[in-house]
């Protein structure tokens, strides 16, 4: 599932009020952090992650790696903040704007 720019903008507006639920630090992306983020998607469809200053890896690369491992979508990466989205398979709580297909 690819997000349209309208859907991405909607998710960014929702994420602006969220606090980061995870922090990626000096050890960068460990299997434990990836697993914990995956489990967090059981309760939340939209999560924010903070990359600490002592982490030397690129936040965009970290976001792509997490998204690939947790089957989620990168909504945005601004500075050291990452926003990820994964809809609930059974009962999605976030209603995305419909994408309009042009002929």
- CATH code of 5-85, in short, is 3.30.110.60
Percent of the chain at pLDDT > 90 equals 71
- pLDDT value, residue 102: 56
Q: Measure the CA–CA gap between 32 and 53, rounded to whole angstroms.
A: 20
What are the extents of the domains in the chain?
Answer: 5-85
Helices (H), the chain: 5-15, 31-40, 59-70
Has this prediction a pTM greater than 0.85? yes
- Residue 25, Cβ neighbours under 10 Å: how many? 14
pLDDT digits (tens, 9 = 90+) for 75-94: 999 999 999 999 988 888 88
Residue with tokens 């969220």, as numbered in its chain = 18
């Amino acid at each position: 599932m690819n997000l349209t720019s309208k859907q991405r903008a909607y998710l960014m507006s929702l994420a602006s009020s969220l606090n980061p639920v995870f922090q990626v630090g000096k050890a960068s992306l460990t299997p434990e952090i990836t697993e914990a983020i995956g489990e967090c998607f059981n309760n939340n469809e939209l999560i924010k992650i903070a990359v600490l200053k002592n982490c030397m890896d690129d936040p965009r690369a970290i976001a792509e790696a997490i998204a690939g491992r947790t089957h989620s979508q990168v909504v945005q990466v601004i500075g050291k903040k990452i926003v990820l989205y994964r809809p609930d398979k059974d009962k999605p709580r976030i209603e995305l704007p419909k994408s309009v297909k042009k002929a």
